[in-house]
Amino acid sequence: MDIDCDGQKNGAGDDGRCDSSWDFQPQTSFKHMVQRYGISDLNAFVHTYVVFGNEGTKPDFVNFNPRQFGMQPLSVMAVVCGNKMFYGVWGDTNGDDQPRAAVGEVSISLATLCYGKEMNGDNGHEQPDVLYIGFTGKDVVTDTSVNWKAGNAIGFERSLGKIGDRLIQRL
Instruction: State pTM to two decimals.
Output: 0.95
User: Residue 134 above 90 pLDDT?
Assistant: yes
Q: Where are the domains of the chain?
A: 2-168
Banded pLDDT at 11 (limits 50, 70, 90) = confident
What is the Cα Rg of the chain in Å?
15
Q: Which residues of 126-155 are buried (b: 16+ CB within 10 A; e: fewer)?
A: eeeebebbbbeeeebbbeeebebebeebee
Arithmetic mean of pLDDT, 139-145: 92
**What's the rounded Cα separation, in Å, for the pair 53 and 117?**
26
Q: How far apart are CA 109 and CA 130, in angstroms?
A: 16
Per-residue pLDDT of 27-38, as tens digits, reads: 999 999 999 999
